[in-house]
Amino acid sequence: MHKVSCAVIAISLAVGNASLAAQTAEKTAAPKVVALRCGSLFDGHGDTLRKNAFLIIEGNKIKDIAASAPAGADVIDLSHETCLPGLIDTHTHILLQGDVTAADYDAQLLKQSPEYRSILATVNARRALEYGFTSIRDLETEGAGYADTDVKKAINNGVIPGPRMQVATRALDVTGAYPLQGYAPDVTVPHGVQLVDGPDNARQAVREQISHGADWIKVYSDRSYRVREDGILDDIPTFTMDELRAIVDEAHRERHKVASHAMALNGVHNSVEAGVDTIEHGNYIADTDLKAMAARGIFYVPTIFVGEYVAQGRAAEGAPVWVKMIQIHEDTFRRAMKAGVKIAFGTDAGGFDWKINPAREFSSMVKFGMTPAQAIRSATVTAAELLGAQDSLGTIEPGKVADIVAVPGDPLADVTTMEKVDFVMKAGVVYRKP
């Protein structure tokens, strides 16, 4: 029994075509039954852990939660672990290797080809999976074109290991608003987005991106942040309302959703008015906009850790506003919780080095007022809903896809335990084992 499960793991860890092999095996033979013996279980519902549960996995699905393993099942011993639903990071950049300063960012776009960046992205995809993120929403390639659709394809085809992906491809912003900036006028430099001006041009770009595989349309709705005397974080809105409405209308007409980078007053307000589906970062959100977000089901993806991480570097570069923004962010986060806004876990990984475990976001959310259980649900149940995948992902229950992770210890007592994921199963295939 033990030997068989080890063999399965060996195949899975052999990187190459693990999930492809699993899919093929599923078609040709009766589905294999695996039992995960969990010391504790956080199924995504409620605030408590269930003790000594067996998760029965058949093929790529959860078949049952039982008190013992069925005869003939391969048992994987996680009796010293807490099992949880596979984690979901709803804001990543696998084509980026950290950009604390403008120089970090410019160097990647100027000195690395999209092909080289794609190779690095395959490593980041594997890292994400090994950290326990079985699904991610990757929110634009930062100048690497449509490379995210290729990484997604390689994962889906079992060529490389990585999380299930929803991708945003190139993102949209207006002329003069997004890096690379500051070069001589006659020097042509790459940009981290597709530049669009005017509603028709914006609409055409949405059509292009969707035709090339975008699952989401990402817009940058504001830039250039400053704290007003009354403490409100102010910004320059990038798009006109006509442009933003055209983008949202075109995306929704094509049954796609819109993610809006909006960090401050006007960017958030315009995005909410235009009808976007998710607000990214949202360091400052007015109470009236929080109320509208709660009423319309617009998700808030706060990405707290990255703000803390880049603040000192950006302050040293001459932008001390990034330090003040942390305090403003905490106040907004607490008001959002009170207003009943759906808060989904997102990290902006890639904005910081992928060698840093993005699960540090859990501690940031708890520091800002969530319980550990609420923070974990933001990365499971709520994030699955954001992806529109709540029927198949986000909780551990019969019928759902077998995305399961485990940590050594009790994450409800100490949420930093979430940074120690040592078992990862995605769609019934084991990628990591303690």
Nearest distance, CB of residue 140 and Zn ion, angstroms: 7
Nearest distance, CB of residue 304 and Zn ion, angstroms: 13
Nearest distance, CB of residue 379 and Zn ion, angstroms: 17
DSSP β-bridge partners for residue 77: 37
Whole-number Å distance between alpha carbons of 297 and 76: 39
Q: Are 66 and 54 in contact (CB under 8 A)?
A: yes
Query: 153: buried, middle or exposed (CB in 10 Å: 19+, 13-18, 0-12)?
Result: middle
Residue number with CB closer to Zn ion (62 or 263): 263
Burial 126-151 (b: 16+ CB within 10 A, else e): bbbbbbbbbbbbbbbbbbbbbbbbbb
Write the CB contacts of 393 (distance below 8 Å, at least 6 apart in sequence). Answer: 85, 86, 88, 134, 135, 384, 387, 400, 401, 403
Nearest distance, CB of residue 174 and Zn ion, angstroms: 18
Nearest distance, CB of residue 205 and Zn ion, angstroms: 19
Nearest distance, CB of residue 303 and Zn ion, angstroms: 7
Residue number with CB closer to Zn ion (74 or 99): 99
Residue number with CB closer to Zn ion (96 or 401): 96
Sign of CA dihedral 415, 322, 97, 87: positive
Nearest distance, CB of residue 96 and Zn ion, angstroms: 8
Residue number with CB closer to Zn ion (36 or 171): 171
Residue number with CB closer to Zn ion (56 or 136): 136
Nearest distance, CB of residue 397 and Zn ion, angstroms: 31
Which secondary structure element, helix H or strand E, spans residue 404, and what is its range? Answer: strand 404-407
Which secondary structure element, helix H or strand E, spans residue 247, and what is its range? Answer: helix 241-253
Region from 227-235, 330-338, 342-350, 406-414 binding Zn ion, contact rule CB under 5 A: 342-350
Question: Could you give phi then psi for residue 216, rounded to 5 degrees?
Answer: -125, 155
Residue number with CB closer to Zn ion (220 or 423): 220
Taking every pair of Cα atoms in the chain, the longest distance, rounded to a whole number of angstroms, is 72
Residue number with CB closer to Zn ion (161 or 351): 351
Site string for Zn ion, 382-411 (x = CB under 5 A): ------------------------------
Residue number with CB closer to Zn ion (39 or 351): 351
Q: What is the DSSP letter of 245?
A: H
Of 344-383, binders to Zn ion (CB under 5 A) are 348
Whole-number Å distance between alpha carbons of 418 and 324: 28
Strands (E), 8-49: 33-41
Nearest distance, CB of residue 167 and Zn ion, angstroms: 13
Structure-token pair, residue 166? 């929803």
Region from 66-74, 320-328, 331-339, 340-348 binding Zn ion, contact rule CB under 5 A: 340-348
Q: Are 369 and 49 in contact (CB under 8 A)?
A: no
Residue number with CB closer to Zn ion (35 or 136): 136
Residues within the interface to Zn ion (CB under 5 A): 348
